[in-house]
Chains A and B, each alone.
Chain A
Amino acid sequence: MNWFNEFNLPEAKSTYASDVDALFFFLNATSFIILIGTTITVIYFIIRYKRKSDDDVTPLITHNTQLEIAWAVIPLILVLIVFGWGFKGHLTMRNVPETAYEVKVTGFKWAWRFSYANGAVSPNELHVPAGRPIKLVMSSTDVIHSFFVPDYRMKQDVVPGRYTTAWFEAPEPGESIVFCTEYCGTSHSNMMAKVIVHEQADFDLWLASNKAPTNIQNPIEYGEKMVTDNACLTCHSLDGSALVGPSFVGLFGRDGEMADGTIVTADENYIRESILNPQAKIVKGYAPVMPTYQGAFADEQIDAIIEYLKTVK
């Protein structure tokens, strides 16, 4: 069993993964038996009953009631086993333990944001304690996304306008990859995140050090936090490379050519407009895909972002 599942499945890192894996193996084993049995029978018939002449006479066999009942009932029993097993496993996944620690997940084009009760916010990294059930309360701000952690055998659609929930418990510290599995546009395949599982003590430390700042004096630092927390860097690089959108490096104050041929200087007004109404001026060579942050950012937050961008050389 192990070599087969090890080849086909990622390492099992959640409490319910092993049950899914066992059922996956059972399905494979029975399927192989049925497939190989059928194939060998067909090959045997081909050889044994090869046409000898065009005048071959074949017997008249119209049906065989016992045989037909057998091959209806035996598969029926098999699928009922699989059905019951799968439903039981699914109920485990759907019933969130009451002791679960809750994290809010927001999916948006094309990043994930994780928010904690103490105000800590973590973009594209879900930090959780080991050995404790984690409940994810998920929503999307734009289109449907889907939160998939292969290592946990966990997947749940993230839908705008409503909350969906999922839970998992990772017994051991470690890291696992998160994919978006509901197609969501240009950078769908880059919409990845990481789950980082800490020992409880390390997690408490991480949580405390990321507590929401109560009073930020320095607008540049605040702007930098805004940019990271909202995952602007998914599309705008800090190393000069062109991603979905133009890089932030040297952006402020630069003259750039727009898609319609006009030359625009990236000043305060331009950046503000690009945040609130991103489709108004599109830099040449890029697609008009950035979502609006109208209503999401307060004025002083936009100010802070602008102050920060001035420092990105």
Chain B
Amino acid sequence: MSTNSTPIEQKTKLHVQRYVQEENPAVNYLNAKSGIMSWLGTLDHKRIGVMYLISISFFFFVGGMLALLLRTELWTPAKTIIEADTYNHVFTLHGAIMIFLFLVPSIPAALGNFLLPIQLGCKDFAFPRLNLFSFYLYVFGALFSVTAILTGGLDTGWTFYTPYSITTSSSVIAMTMGVFILGFSSILTGINFIITTHKMRAPGLSWGKLPLFVWSAYATSIIQVLATPVLGITLLLLIMERVLQIGIFDPALGGDPVLYQHFFWFYSHPAVYIMIVPGFGVISEVIATFSKKTIFGYWAIALSSLAIAFMGFVVWGHHMFVSGQSPLASFFFSFITFLVGIPTGIKIFNWVSTMYRGSISLEAPMLYALGFLFLFTVGGLTGIFLGTLSVDVHLHDTYFVVAHFHYVMVGGMVMALLAGLHYWWPKMFGKMYNKTAAFVAWLVIFVGFNVTFLPQFVLGSRGMPRRYYNYIDEFQALHQISTIGAYMLGLGFGIIFVYLLISLLKGKAAPSNPWNARTLEWTISSPPTEHNFEHVPVVLHGPYDYHFPIEEFQLGVAGGHHDIDVHTEKVVTKPIETEE
């Protein structure tokens, strides 16, 4: 933009002064407007974020209940409470709901919507209406999915593999249309994030000063924009084949069923990174804050997110090592899969090093972040097993895979979401929660999670295939341990729900910066006012620069000239004037 045409000498000098916000303003974004329509028609990114949070919580509850039903059925080797066909419907819905309606939108849409503009120091996204439109696409896509469930359900597995998905009598079309629409929501959110990050940063907020949460949301958005269209095309082809009998995937019509798998994983493997990369951002924020220390290897963490985003596009074939794919193709897919493991490992080592000589406080968000570190490491390492060709042949499509991706998705992503939720909860709602209850819930979830999924690694390597309604007797003991763990997990999430609800209703007011953090969202009130900032914020230091006093993080353009030219690379400051 104008930076190119403006000589450096003519850059605007900004006069900076310190702003300290009111801690808990009487009028904030939650109550500035009232009535249901003020929510449904809102353009405020914070309200849209809250609406996403409510939606994903609802679908997480539904998906979780389905998981408990599955685990209960697996208590005995034969029928326990439901029929085989019902079981097949239930595991399909559990997967489809958790992935498309919960995991994909969870951190980017709920936390990202709320935080990204604030962390960038602006009042809203570049395109607030587009943002609201993505939310309604999400709702519309979800309605399609619910219709599919009510009109006969779905029994294909969340992967919709052909030719089974072409021949089955269940509501494949309604469900795939739902996923197709959800994809557009994802693409539009991604575009909005990318443009806002490029164009709306506050004065002084250079790329090297972006909070790592922004970096991870940015990397995720790139994947969303580039990968999701492939899923859309694939699902359309599937619908065309079912409705118009055009042979694409069905061998009976002259199609190729394995082609579908290539298309599907070309999206769905990057989608795994859509689900986990935003979690990396949350963990970076939380670990730096609760170690009160500059993040170790800022650029390594920021750029490894981008590296994972791009390399994630060329590993899809590792889902197909036993599909009959040529050994040469498997060679490359296996090799690149291992290379993706390296930036992931680098992140873990960086987080651990951040804690070195820090000032570590085990508040609830930090507990979840530490839980993430352990569980995600297990998930990542077992991913190496599955990328190894000869070992994958044995483990492919067994419970080992089920355990692996639950360690990544629940142990990783859900833990990161909970870390983020507990971290930003005081900011979002201006209320604190009960810390003892939070600790108890964390403990129950951490233990329950391992009781559920550790036995599944053993089940898998012993040969128990996934998606099995009946199983042979020797697997029963491990299945029962896993089921008990699942109920513990359910209990843990129940506790969280209760104390967060209590916090909303009668929690004590949260200060504007309860964790003494340094990023922009903590310089404004809790909850924020409608326009986030009462001034144009100015950023002098990095997001984790604890060696500078807090006063230097509360700066804004003096005089409140909101229309001032902000396209400056360097901020010229006058000596900081304290209040008044």
Query: Which of B322, B358, B378 makes the CB contact (< 8 A) with A157?
Result: B322
Those of A135-191 within 8 Å (CB) of chain B: 142-144, 146, 148, 150-151, 153-157, 159-162, 164, 177, 179-190
Point out the residues of chain B lying under 8 angstroms from A150, CB to CB.
394, 462-463
Q: How far is the CA of A142 from the CA of B516 in the complex (A)?
A: 62
Q: Determine whether the beta carbon of B385 is less than 8 Å from that of A24.
A: yes
- Asked if A45 and B360 make an inter-chain contact with CB atoms under 8 angstroms apart, the answer reads yes
**CB neighbours of B546 from chain A (8 A):** 58
The verdict on A20 contacting B391 (CB below 8 Å), with A75-B341, A82-B384 known, is yes
Query: Shortest CB–CB separation between residue A60 and chain B, in angstroms?
Result: 5
Bound form: Cα–Cα A300–B358 in Å? 83
User: In the complex, which of the residues A46, A179, A189 contacts B84, with contact meaning CB atoms closer than 8 Å?
Assistant: A189
Q: Within 8 Å of chain A (Cβ to Cβ): is B251? A: yes
Selecting from A30-38, A124-132, A303-311, the interface stretch reads A30-38
| Residue from the list B293, B324, B330 in contact with A90, Cβ < 8 A | B330
Q: Given contacts A27-B385, A58-B359, A181-B397, is CB(A160)–CB(B251) below 8 Å?
A: yes
Interface pair B341/A86, CB less than 8 Å apart: no
Asked, given contacts A79-B338, A164-B324, whether A10 binds B463 with beta carbons under 8 Å apart, the answer is yes
Q: Using a Cβ cutoff of 8 Å, how many contacts connect chains A and B? A: 257
Judge whether A42 and B300 touch: CB under 8 Å: no
Interface size on A, residues (CB 8 A): 85
Which residue of A52, A146, A288 contacts B397 across the interface (Cβ within 8 Å)?
A146
* Interface residue A91 (Cβ < 8 Å from any Cβ of B): yes
A86 touches B391 (CB 8 A): yes
B345 close to A71 (CB less than 8 A) = yes
Task: Scan residues 1-50 of chain A and give those whose CB is less than 8 A from a CB of chain B.
Answer: 7-10, 16, 19-20, 23-24, 27, 31, 34-35, 38-39, 41-42, 45-46, 49-50
Residue in B292, B341, B468 whose CB lies within 8 Å of A56:
B292
B167 to chain A, nearest CB (A): 7
Q: Is the CB of B292 within 8 A of A58?
A: yes
Q: How far is the CA of A54 from the CA of B363 in the complex (A)?
A: 13
Pick out which of these stretches binds chain B: A61-69, A198-206, A221-229, A258-266.
A61-69
Q: Which residues of B contact A144 (CB under 8 A)?
A: 161, 163-164, 257
Chain B residue with Cβ nearest A50: B360
Given contact pairs A58-B546, A60-B547, A27 touches B356 in the complex (Cβ within 8 A): no
CA distance A35 to B374 in the complex (A): 8
In angstroms, Cα B164 to Cα A146, docked, is 13
Determine whether the beta carbon of B84 is less than 8 Å from that of A42. Answer: no
A93–chain B nearest beta-carbon distance, Å: 6
Flag whether A313 is at the interface (Cβ < 8 A). no
| Complex-state Cα separation, A41 to B348, whole angstroms | 12
- Known A56-B292, A62-B294; judge A38-B461 contact (CB<8 A): no
Whether B346 pairs with A49 at a CB distance below 8 angstroms is no
Assuming the A-B contacts A82-B338, A148-B465, are A190 and B355 also in contact, with contact meaning beta carbons closer than 8 angstroms in the complex? no
Instruction: Tell me if A72 is interfacial: C-beta within 8 Å of chain B.
Output: yes
Q: Which residues of B contact A312 (CB under 8 A)?
A: none
Tell me the minimal C-beta distance from A79 to chain B in angstroms: 4
A49 to B354, CA, bound (A): 11
- Which chain B residues lie closer than 8 Å to A34 at the CB level? 377, 381
Question: Does B574 lie at the interface of the complex (its beta carbon under 8 Å from any beta carbon of A)?
Answer: no
Are A155 and B396 in contact, CB atoms less than 8 angstroms apart? yes
Interface contact A7-B352, CB-CB below 8 Å: no
CB distance from A70 to the nearest CB of B (A): 9
Scoring A38, A46, A91, A189 by chain B CB atoms within 10 A of each residue's CB, the highest score goes to A189
Residues of B333-375 at the interface with A, using a CB-CB cut-off of 8 Å, are 334-335, 338-339, 341-342, 345-346, 348-349, 352-353, 355-362, 370, 373-374
> Considering the chains assembled together, what is the distance between the CA atoms of A75 and B398 in angstroms?
26
Min CB distance, A86 to chain B, in Å? 4
The reply to whether A155 and B360 form a contact with Cβ atoms under 8 Å apart is no
Q: How far is the CA of A179 from the CA of B353 in the complex (A)?
A: 45
Let me know if A68 and B322 touch, CB within 8 A.
no
Q: Is A80 an interface residue (CB 8 A)?
A: yes
Q: Which residue of A lies closest to B349 (CB)?
A: A71
Whether A179 and B377, one on each chain, are in contact in the complex, defined by CB atoms closer than 8 angstroms, is no
* Nearest-CB residue, chain A, relative to B390: A89
Compute how far the CA of A165 lies from the CA of B481 in the bound complex, rounded to whole angstroms: 37
A183→B157 contact, CB < 8 A? yes
How many angstroms between the C-alpha atoms of A190 and B164 in the bound complex? 17
Q: How far is the CA of A229 from the CA of B299 in the complex (A)?
A: 64
Q: Which residue of A38, A51, A161, A179 is within 8 Å of B361 (Cβ)?
A: A51
Whether B20 is near chain A, meaning CB under 8 Å from some CB there, is: no
Chain A residues whose C-beta falls within 8 Å of the C-beta of B25 in the assembled complex:
none
Q: List residues of chain B with CB within 8 A of the CB of A19.
A: 390
| Chain A residues, CB < 8 A from B389 | 86-87, 89-90
Q: Do A160 and B163 touch across chains, with their CB atoms under 8 A apart?
A: yes
How far, in angstroms, from A185 to B348 measured CA to CA in the complex? 40
Chain B 91-110 near chain A by CB (<8 Å), digits 1 or 0: 00000000000000000000
**B494 interface contact, C-beta 8 A:** no
Say yes or no: is A211 at the interface (Cβ < 8 Å to chain B). no
Quick one: which of B156, B300, B355 contacts A49, CB cutoff 8 A? B355
Kindly list 13 other residue pairs between chains A and B, CB separation below 8 angstroms, not including A38-B374, A58-B357, A86-B391: A7-B458, A31-B382, A45-B358, A61-B293, A62-B296, A68-B297, A85-B390, A86-B392, A89-B389, A144-B163, A159-B324, A188-B467, A189-B465
Q: Which 7 A-B pairs have the closest CB atoms?
A: A161-B251, A150-B463, A89-B390, A56-B359, A90-B389, A86-B388, A189-B468
8 contacts between A and B (CB under 8 A): A31-B385, A45-B352, A63-B300, A72-B342, A86-B391, A155-B394, A160-B252, A162-B251
